[in-house]
Amino acid sequence: MIQNKSKTVSDETGEAQIGWIEGGVPCSTLFDDPYYSRQDGLAETRHVFLAGNRLAERFAACDRFTIAELGFGTGLNFLATAQMWHETAPPAAKLDFFSFEQFPMTAGDMAAALTVWPELTMLARPLLEAWSDSSNLTKVFELKNENIALTVLFGDANTRLPQAGFSADAWFLDGFSPAKNPELWNTTLMEEVFRRTRPGGTLATYSAAGWVRRNLETAGFRTERQPGYAGKRQMTVAMRPE
């Protein structure tokens, strides 16, 4: 169990506690942090996670691709990825998307957050429908269509990731800010992320915190800073050397 100034986090799964800020952006009252940029979460996802991992060009050239994410939240990153996949990947290619979530949002809160982007409505519908059945939110959530398989593993990623059996081509590190959610950025977890990244695989995060970058380097990644989204000077991308 980790004691923070403002909260106590155990490794048990619990429901997300949501408050809403300007523009319909969900904010965790447990972590006191928004789920994504107040400016435009979808544009931030495209900048940080999709472009940060060079996904458009990699999708276009693949027949199979695996993405893993720390922090499923509203599903926005997943939906933006699925949208890009449909636009860029060859028709027969397969995408596996794994995500970890300790505090699942209700389907109602997810739907309320996602209404801001009508272009995602069709993609969000099957996700929200399946998510609204709470018996699906116990240990593992799975949703598959012809080309995309989504798996969300519930519980503390520190416990769940070592039990997982995939190797990712790209990672989205999307915990709450490292200062408020340090348990999702620690060295041991970054080492586990490294072990579950294919040689030549990449990761991206909106964070430019020096200690996060050092944890990634210690784990074995080669890191680089890039311009961040909307006024954030920097973000971090990294690669597992071949």
Ligand X SMILES: C[S@@+](CC[C@H](N)C(=O)[O-])C[C@H]1O[C@@H](n2cnc3c(N)ncnc32)[C@H](O)[C@@H]1O
Residue of 19, 53, 34 lying closest to 238 (CA atoms): 53
Closer to ligand X at the Cβ: 2 or 56?
Answer: 2
Measured from the CB of residue 158, what is the shortest distance to ligand X in angstroms? 6
Contact by Cβ (8 Å): 193, 215: no
Choose the binding region for ligand X from 50-58, 85-93, 170-178, 224-232 (rule: CB under 6 A): 170-178
37 counts as binding ligand X under rule CB under 6 A = no
Looking at 25, 55, 71, 170, which residue binds ligand X (CB under 6 A)?
A: 71
The residues in 97-126 that bind ligand X, with binding defined as CB under 6 A, are 100-103
The residues in 183-202 that bind ligand X, with binding defined as CB under 6 A, are 183-184
Choose the binding region for ligand X from 53-61, 85-93, 169-177, 208-216 (rule: CB under 6 A): 169-177
Measured from the CB of residue 221, what is the shortest distance to ligand X in angstroms? 20
Q: CB within 8 A of 179, min separation 6: which ones? A: 209
Choose the binding region for ligand X from 17-25, 96-104, 137-145, 211-219 (rule: CB under 6 A): 96-104
Q: CB within 8 A of 114, min separation 6: which ones? A: 74, 75, 76, 79, 120, 121, 124, 128
Measured from the CB of residue 225, what is the shortest distance to ligand X in angstroms? 20
Residue of 153, 155, 175, 162 lying closest to 36 (CA atoms): 175
Q: Burial-class residue 234 by CB neighbours within 10 Å (0-12, 13-18, 19+).
A: middle
For the record, the structure tokens of 241 come out as: 């050397």
